[in-house]
Structure formats: C-alpha cells, structure tokens
Structure 1
Amino acid sequence: MKKYSEILLRAILAGLMIGLAGTVYLALKNTNAIVGAFLFSFGLLTICALDYKLYTGRVAYIIDNKPDYLIDILLIILGNLMGTVVVALIVKLSGYTSIINTAKHVADVKLDKTYIQMFAQAILCGIMMYLGVEGFKRFKNEFAKVLAVIFAVAIFILAGFEHSVANMYYFAAAGYVSFDVVIALIVMILGNGVGAIIFNFIEKIAHTK
C-alpha cells in the first residue's frame, strides 16, 4: 500500500506541474504562443528532475516491467487527473477570466476533431514525450538533458499534438465535464500510450541487432 500511495502522490504532483505549465501556456497563447510552448517545458523538466509520475513519461516502459506495472499506470492517470483538476479549480477561484476563456477555445478545437485525428495526434505526442524523457535519462551532459525536454515539449505543443494530461487540465479549466470529454481523453490516453510503447519497442529491436 505504501508503494501505491507514493505513486499516487507523485502522480498528483506531476499533474500539478502540468497544470501550472498549462496555465502559463494559456496566458501567452493569444499573444506569444511560441514563448508559451517553451515555458510549458518547465512542467516536464520539473517532473523529470524530481522524479514525479507523469503518464506520458511512464507508459512507454510497460514493456520493460511486470504486468502489475499496469496498476501503477492506472494510479498515475488518476493522480495526474487529480493534480490538473486542482490547478484548474485554483485558476477559476483566482478569477483569471482570460485564461479560462482561452481554455474554452482550446478545448472546443480539440473536441471538434474526429476520434481518428485525436488518436493519431496523440500517437505523435507519445513519441515526442518518450524522446524527451528518454533523452533526459540517457544524455550525460546536463545542458543536453534540458534541451531534450524543452524541444520535445515545444514541438508537440506547436504542432498541435494531443497530450492527454495537458488536455485534462484544459478541459477542467474550461469547465467541460461530459461524456464526449471522457471519451476524448480515453482516446488520447490510448494514443499517447501507443506512440510511446511502439517507439520504445522499435528502439529495443534496433539495439539488439
């Protein structure tokens, strides 16, 4: 139980970081989206440096672990959701009307996509997240570690790829709670997982030859 409680708490912290990063991005999206995209990377950098549990940074390693790792992943998703919702509630209480309105616009654009589009774009995001996290782990140079995370995040945001945890925050900040939102998040969660797991799997095959 101690293991699972630690996982949940670290997942909540990761959700908080993504929520904070998403808030900065929304604040800048209409005036300087590029700067906002780069500042969003603060969230993932903090998560990697402090070993918090983010779904998109952990799901690739399902193939490297025992079956009970799936329980960890489910707890991480729950914790990430809790963390993002907490930040969204604080933003609402803070009266950041412009951020909330931008969140609604962002959420509307995402919900207008077909499930195939959501899934495909989530796969691409899963790949970028795997590369960012794995780069942080493998690179020896500290500057290279930071760059790997910053550019992986900036690329997925500016390209419009779907990050399931970031979207948990956007939907919560927009105040959107519906069946359509739940289905969209499930599709994105699956897409992120497919992208990250497949890329990890291909890498393993390449390294064994």
Structure 2
Amino acid sequence: MPYVKPNELVTQMIDAGESKVHLSTRDTLIRAFMGAALLTVAAAFAVTVSVQTGNPLLGAILFPVGFCLLYLLGYDLLTGVFTLAPLAWLDKRPGVTVGAVLRNWGLVFVGNFAGAFMVAVFMTIYFTYGWSTEPSEVGQAIGHIGEGRTVGYAEHGAGGMLTLFVRGVMCNWMVSTGVVAAMMSRSVIGKVVGMWMPIMLFFYMGFEHSIVNMFLFPAGLLMGGSFTVVDYLVWNEIPTVIGNLVGGLTFVGLMLYTTHYRTKPRRGARPAPAAEPDDLVGATR
C-alpha cells in the first residue's frame, strides 16, 4: 500500500480543491446528489443494524461502507468541499475566487440535500409499506433520533446549541480526516482502511453530520416524529453546517496546509553560504 507523505498529500488536497471548484454545474450536482444518496443509504443500514441487534457499535462499524463507496466513485459531500476548496483559494490557483468557492459549496449543498431527501422518501416507503402501516421499529427509531437531536438540544437552551455546534465541529474533524486519509494511499485497500477508522468514530460518538441529518430528520418528519421543520433547521441543520465548516477547515485543511505546505524554516538551520564575488574567485586561482 504505497504511502503518500504529508507534503505530497497537501498538494493533492489543493489540486482536488481546484478541480472541484472548476467542475461544471451539471457534474457538481450529479456528484453531490449521488454522494449523499450513497451515504444516507448506509446511514439507514447502520440504524437498522443498531436497532435489530441492539448493538450500536456494530452499526457504527458497518456505516463507513457508504462513505468509502462514494469517495471511491468520485462523488462529493459538502463536508469534504468545506475542507478542500478553500485551500485552492489560499494557494491562489487560477480562477479560484471566493465567489467560485461559495458557488461550489452552494451547488454541493443543493445536490446533497436532493440525494438525501430522495433516500428519506424511499426509506419511509420501505418502513411503512407505502404509508399503509405505522412505521416499523426502525422507522420509529429514526423518528426518535430526530426528536432527541432537535427539541432535545432546545431543552438545554444555549448549552444545547453550544453542544450541537461542538458536535458538528468534531464530526467534520473526523470526516475530513477520512477524506484526506483516502489520499494517503494509492491502493484501494489503503484508501478504505484510511477512511474507515475516522468515519466509524464519528458515527458511534453521535457527532452531527449535516448530510446524514438531511436524511434522518426529513425521514423522521415523514414518519411522524414529534418535531417541526423549524426545529430541524434551527436546532440542527444550520448550526451543524456551520460546525462542520469550522471543524473540517480549521482542524484538517488549514493545519495540514500550514505545517506541511507553508512551513517555517527549521530552528538552528545554517544559512546558505554567500556566493563569492567573481573578482575574488579569480584572485584565488
């Protein structure tokens, strides 16, 4: 499993960010749509495993299958472009402006939401036999997740909002580490191993991922969860998006960029010897 060293890794990250910013509108939307769809099918799978086995750790261990597949197929998540696109702007890549970065983020958000919402509708049909019965045990569990992670935060007021934001930060710290870890190897097995570990960690710890939530909360509402669209937006999605941006860009993108790309001179390094003037060089011959 060939290992890509950190200084080479950051160059790959900047190249990836530039490529995503310059991608056409059509391709950006398709890749974002499919990325969220694959990830959220895996989320539904993980919740199903957790509920039916009574073992949340097993669900967390299996959840990364969706994340690995979407990145191996070249699809995109908002959490990933939060980290990569700004690096291309910092590196002053041609055509990468603040407006272009924001455009990329907006398109990926729209594509991700559409893909996640489609899966929410599909899973609601699956868990209710096309709205002809009450939700299954798993469907009810998804509804309770939506309640606990909206009105559950609201019950704690400012402390709940702070907790939500911090969980969003820590989530994309892990998720973006998974995105970057996939670039550390040139083999499929190496990429999968690198991605699997931080994604499993975030899911088991219950950190807040804006794209997974685009599935969980609409699905919960469709299956009768006791919370509202406003609860979802104010007490989850919006703070989670902000936390994901801060976590991925700060603790992954900027840290790697600063210490492995814009490095400072080493302490105690000897300055290069000054070149001798031509006349002195000639005089010594």
1:196 aligns with 2:228: no
Relative to its length, the structure with more helix (as a share) is 1
1:100 aligns with 2:134: no
Identity of paired residues, percent?
A: 24
**Under a length normalisation based on structure 1, what TM-score does the superposition of the two structures give?**
0.94
**Paired residues of 1:62 and 1:197 also in contact (CA < 8 A):** no
Selected match of 1:43 from 42, 66, 84: 66
Alignment of 1:57-206 (within 5 A): 57-65=80-88, 66=96, 67=98, 68-96=100-128, 97-111=136-150, 112-113=152-153, 114-175=160-221, 177-183=228-234, 184-199=236-251, 200-206=253-259
The 2-side partners of 1:79 and 1:154 are apart by 24
How far the C-alpha of 1:19 sits from its partner, in A, is 1.6
Aligned length: 209
Deviations 1:85-110 (A, max 9, x none): 11111111123522221111111221
Comparing 76-85 with 132-141, greater Cα deviation is found at 132-141
The 2-side partners of 1:187 and 1:90 are apart by 26
Deviations 1:124-163 (A, max 9, x none): 0111011101000122343332112111111001111111
Q: Following TM superposition, where does structure 1 have runs of at least 4 consecutive aligned residues deviating by more than 4 angstroms?
A: none
The residue number in structure 2 matching 1:55 is: 78
The 2-side partners of 1:95 and 1:45 are apart by 25
Q: How much is the aligned-residue C-alpha RMSD, in angstroms?
A: 1.7
How far the C-alpha of 1:62 sits from its partner, in A, is 3.1
| Structure 1: segments with no counterpart, 5+ residues | none
Q: Which amino acid is 1:50 matched to?
A: L
**Under a length normalisation based on structure 2, what TM-score does the superposition of the two structures give?**
0.70
Q: Kindly name which structure, 1 or 2, has the bigger radius of gyration based on alpha carbons.
A: 2
Alignment of 1:1-12 (within 5 A): 3-12=24-33
